[in-house]
Amino acid sequence: MPLSGAERSRIYRQKMKQNPAKYQEYLELERKRYGKKKEDGQVKLIGDVSERERRRRRKYWREMKKKQPLVPPSPSSSSHLTEKKKLGRKRVKREKSRTYRKMQNLEEQLNIQKRINEKLRKRLYRANQKHIDPNSPRTKVKLIFKGPNSAEKA
């Protein structure tokens, strides 16, 4: 089965990268080609386009950057990354415990306020009960309507 153009060019570039001298020559040729396109106006710089086009291009670049495969770190920097990870984990753990303590404190304050509220509600209820006069006409009528046993008391 014959190779497609993209496959042929991929193989060609891989062979070029094998030979450093040819690869440098190839890169120089590409730079010249890009400079010529820029002079002819085929390629516009980011500063030469409208604000909308800038946003569109940058969004495209961000998406392409996300799609790129991650390059594994070199062995010397791996120890540095593990230290960074440890520091990050430590920071996360510290934040988590701080948040937990804050939540416990707030829950305790809430319970205290609930108890105070309940205490004041009962106090108000009892104070209102003291002001009811059992000999007032309204109280007597209420007692009559409650039932026959309560009417005898009135």
Mean pLDDT by runs of 10 across the 154 residues of the chain is: 89 88 90 93 90 95 90 62 78 92 96 97 87 79 78 52
Structural domain for 117, as ranges: 94-154
C-alpha–C-alpha distance, residues 107 and 25, integer Å:
71
Bin 73: left if φ > 0, else alpha if -120 < ψ < 50, else beta: beta
Residue with tokens 């059992």: 134
Is 143 exposed, middle or buried (CB count within 10 Å of its CB: 0-12, 13-18, 19+)?
middle
Does some domain include residue 84?
Answer: no
pLDDT of residue 119: 97
Does some domain include residue 86?
Answer: no
pLDDT of residue 37: 93
- Same domain for 51 and 100: no
> Is 33:39 a contact under the CB 8 Å cutoff?
no
pLDDT of residue 104: 96
- Domain count of the fold of the chain: 2
pLDDT of residue 135: 81
